[in-house]
Structure 1
């Protein structure tokens, strides 16, 4: 356990001093004893994320700044995209032309439809003429040559109508494919254009911006740090020797330097099982209860995680402890070293579960 503690927690930890300067004698006393684990850490916003660029370009426009509250999908940065803008404009023009070619007022389809209508009119006339010549030929009122000429004209018109029907359908199908391809190309270019416009994923506050207007931004580079300003948590570092004592739901008392003597209450919400080898600590997260500090990113804090609270236990000052389990007592005018059975302890007091009683006289080792 760290050998520092928040001074404000004097209501939890008792400093026992002896008044007998000669022998420094004292006796065990029943007191309220709270066992706590010390932790240091910082305050962070929930739902924290970093905006990254999806394209290379110079930052030419910035619409929000550090400290600003932003909404979901809000445009924050615009990157220069001259060539991409040109591609998007070209695909937009091609799409408009494809829509016009396939639309109700399509000049291409109107011309083919008109040609089909004329061919059907001619077929109707040639059909009437063919039937008339057939009747005349059946009555031997015309020659076979005239009859066959009328029949050939009718068959030619019939084939012409079929061919123009197929041409119209084929052209409509091709124009539809062209329209679909144009729409796909436009969507791709529009989506690529979105890569030059950096937007937020979720609402929050901008805590830090890493790039300035005019600077070159590379694809994958981080440009801003954003988090939820309304929801914050305490990220604590616990010494590995104390980590096994910490459980989810335990009360946490937090002291933040900028708030002077104010103490915030929180609850342990999450334990992280991986040891940080750099400082031999484990990470523990705590959720604030009703009263929360302002969401200033990374504010340092000190905390005590309440492990146990005992309303009335027999205690001795910790500085009378010899080694880990012995004390010196005065017995019949002599000093004697005895073993004790310890319970919980804090920086100042040790619970005595065996070996001493209220009338025992403890002395300090010379």
Structure 2
């Protein structure tokens, strides 16, 4: 199908902008057909007809998403602007975060102090280790003294009171070493827990701080910014619109009566206002089963198969979804049709009305499946 024929196709679509009725597109020149249908008498002719469904819609970028705020705050800084190409995880906006900055600083100080308390040079652990060493030294002395008095007592060289006093000192030192060791372990474990808690708290505050620095989720183009610097932004409120900078798709709306005719994979011919007479080719990629009750249409998406338009957001388009292609069918001018299924013919000098069975049709021509032949003479009705 040539580009000129595509253009003729959209000449017909322009005349149908106010309705979403199904049309049948004829691949031969419409002008020739109109001239022939203007005569009083005519004969059915075999022509190539293409059945299509009219649709209208817009162009949108793929992977479109709205960038939202995860915290409340005033928009302090805008780093990217409409039309800019942005990369994944690039910071685009910054919110005022004085209170959060203070929380983050406090959490960081506690975390650093916890690290120092649990480090190899921890003053708290050093003090406990020093006390434990002193207790062990005393235990060693008391142990020697106890053994000496024990031997003396066994040789009746000392009194029982002195022996028991030495034994008590030894047991006391032994218990003291055990208690100080337990205290050292208990304190070390507690300092470790404090370190992990402070680290977690710091990470939470650091992540919360990231909420005030709004970044893009993926590479793309910044199409629209909803907030200005200095304005208050609420948590969950949209700040900007971002989409793919290179890939676009057509979002179409068709009349509900035509929805059952459309299937995924069907060819779509698209005319975009800003490109004047240029026609783009696409294919149906997705059907949405929910009816839009406001205008009684269904949504259909189409992917461009050849050249695609520039990624301008929301460009207005008109389209024909090719339902079937008929290389050779018997056709008559539409103005010869009487009602929905009859025509007047001339036969043996007489004029009579007969019924036909229609096939596809467009603005000017109708396919005749049965009831007429090429030799039939059609006449306009009264």
| TM-score over 0.5 (shorter chain) | yes
Q: How does 1:134-283 map to 2 (within 5 A)?
A: 134-283=150-299
1:5 aligns with 2:20: no
Which residue in 2 is equivalent to 1:73? 89
Q: How does 1:6-155 map to 2 (within 5 A)?
A: 11=27, 14-15=30-31, 16-18=33-35, 24-155=40-171
Distance 1:253 1:3 in 2: 13
Which residue in 2 is equivalent to 1:341? 357
Please give the secondary structure, in 2, of the residue aligned with 1:229: coil
**Maintained 8 Å contact 2:288/2:299:** yes
Please give the secondary structure, in 2, of the residue aligned with 1:131: helix
Q: 1:19 to 1:135 in 2, by over 3 A?
A: closer
The structural deviation recorded for 1:132 is 0.9
Distance 2:11 2:376 in 1: 28
Unmatched segments (≥5 aa) in structure 2: 1-9, 16-24
* Cα distance per residue 1:122-181 (max 9 Å; x no partner): 111110111011111111112222222211211111111011001101111111121122
Which residue in 1 is equivalent to 2:380? 364
* Cα distance per residue 1:254-313 (max 9 Å; x no partner): 111111211111111111111111111111111111211111111110110111111111
Q: Name which of structure 1's ranges 205-214 and 225-234 shifts more when overlaid on structure 2.
A: 225-234
Distance 1:156 1:277 in 2: 90
Please give the secondary structure, in 1, of the residue aligned with 2:340: coil
Unmatched segments (≥5 aa) in structure 1: none
Number of aligned positions between the proteins: 363
Distance 1:234 1:146 in 2: 103
Distance 1:355 1:152 in 2: 127
Which residue in 1 is equivalent to 2:339? 323
* Cα distance per residue 1:40-91 (max 9 Å; x no partner): 0111111111011111110001111111111122211110010110011001
Q: Name which of structure 1's ranges 98-107 and 346-355 shifts more when overlaid on structure 2.
A: 346-355
Please give the secondary structure, in 1, of the residue aligned with 2:41: coil
Q: 1:359 to 1:149 in 2, by over 3 A?
A: same
Q: TM-score, normalised by structure 1?
A: 0.95
Q: TM-score, normalised by structure 2?
A: 0.91
Distance 1:275 1:113 in 2: 77
Which residue in 2 is equivalent to 1:300? 316
